[in-house]
Amino acid sequence: MLVKDLSVGKEGPLIFKFAMPMVLGNIFQQLYNVADSVVVGNYIGKEALAAVGASFPIIFTLISLIIGIATGATIIISQYFGAKKLDQVRKAIDTLFIFLFFASIFVGSLGIIFAEDIFRLIKLPEDAMSNAVIYLRIYLSGLIFFFGFNGTSAILRGLGDSKTPLYFMIISTIVNIGLDLLFVIVFGWGVEGVALATLLAQAGAFFTAVIYLNRTHEVIRFALRKLQFDRIIFKQNLRIGFPIGFQMAFVALSMMVMYWLVNPLGTDTAAAYSVVFRIDAFASMPAMNFAAALAAFVGQNLGANKPERVKRGMIATLYMTSLIAITIASIALIFARPLMDLFSADQNVVNIGVQYLQIVSFFYIAFTAMFTIGGVMRGAGDTLVPMIITFIALWVVRVPLCYYLSQKMGAIGIWWGIPIAWIVGMVLSYFYYLTGRWKTKTVFHKS
């Protein structure tokens, strides 16, 4: 199996070919959540739909710091690989796996113990409480498989291989959907069945990846007794990864605050928000994947001492992601009601969701530009300033504005606060990119 050198070749087509398997892989990953929501909304009820939807920001909050550190590791891996330092690449991979193992045990245990307290903190409607606690605890009990598979996929992308994770994700998603239908419709296990289906699918994907990569990959090897923890590389991981993790934590906590604002408006609004949250995830996914591809591209090219390719890569990525964002926004606007009908037969839930999409989808292009520019900085190893920008956009602008507008306009005020924060984040990211300071933050400097 050959990994991909992103420091040679035409920038635009190179990034596109590298990003598309990631996009497809994440489409299938999002189908995990969509399948859960469709089955729950149509076969269990809107209370269960609200419960499953409210679980996602809590899961994201619990794992965000760990995923951030893991992302820091993949940036290090991409830069060392660009510099052809394969021994350092292997040490970075070993260090990441050891960290993820212990982190999954700690975070999973924390979430399982405090599940009900967290849902009460965000004012989840009482009729959705028991289902939410059950779903979250089952999901978190398999967190080691989630970290294992996603860590492996991130490492492969850092090495320039975005196709292998796609194949595993396709298989895992098909298994998850099949188990959803079996456990809920045939066995009647309710929310427990949905959570168990996701856990088993993630476990299957991880173990399949381990077996396959041990037999075929020239860099990645899973041998527990031979894993080596490198303190120097881990310190580099923390330097780069902590700001990414805190950035993700800011996003995750803001999601919880959004539910805190939405939940008191009733089960219908909470259920509708759970649905449009899934649709937003689909809409934002191409931007996030192209940004991740661009980060790997930037990391390898700076590692190979080819900074002139970075700007060309960013411009090409902005063109591609903007076109995708416009297309998705058009679909969301035209097919807002049919999309909502997939998830719920309750017309009040559908109407609230349609209202959201008619406002927010116009601004998907701002979110896209913000993430693309951020991908350049993350690829260079400059993760502190993007963290600060995220904090300002979400906690200085979005959360206070959504709260204020919700008091004046109800749910529609919350819907308007979301894209305004995206615009602020986009503008701040662009101005920082123009300073060029991110170029000095690489893992090592060439003489």
| Closest to 299 in 3D by CA, of 290, 289, 310 | 310
* Burial class of residue 117 in the structure, from the number of CB atoms within 10 Å of its CB (0-12 exposed, 13-18 middle, 19+ buried): exposed
Distance CA 318, CA 365 (A): 10
Q: What is the DSSP letter of 437?
A: G
Distance CA 341, CA 350 (A): 6
Distance CA 53, CA 68 (A): 23
Give the distance from CA 420 to its chain's centroid. Answer: 21
What are the extents of the domains in the chain?
Answer: 11-440
| The pLDDT of residue 18 | 83
Global pTM value: 0.70
| The pLDDT of residue 2 | 45
| The pLDDT of residue 310 | 87
Q: At what angle do helices 11-43 and 308-334 cross, to 10 degrees?
A: 30
* Burial class of residue 408 in the structure, from the number of CB atoms within 10 Å of its CB (0-12 exposed, 13-18 middle, 19+ buried): exposed
| Closest to 20 in 3D by CA, of 34, 7, 40, 4 | 4
pLDDT per position in the chain (447 positions), as tens? Answer: 445 667 778 888 888 988 888 788 777 777 766 777 778 878 887 788 778 877 877 887 888 778 878 777 877 887 787 777 878 888 888 888 888 889 999 999 999 999 999 888 888 888 888 888 999 999 999 999 988 888 888 777 777 777 888 888 888 888 988 998 899 889 989 889 989 998 999 899 888 888 877 777 666 666 667 778 888 888 888 888 887 777 777 777 887 888 888 888 888 888 888 888 878 878 888 888 898 888 888 888 887 788 888 889 999 999 999 999 999 999 999 999 998 988 888 899 899 999 999 999 999 999 899 989 988 888 887 878 888 898 899 899 999 999 999 999 989 999 999 999 999 999 999 999 888 887 776 655 554
What is the SS3 assignment for 382? coil
Q: At what angle do helices 11-43 and 267-303 cross, to 10 degrees?
A: 160
83: which 2 tokens? 């510099």
| The pLDDT of residue 270 | 85
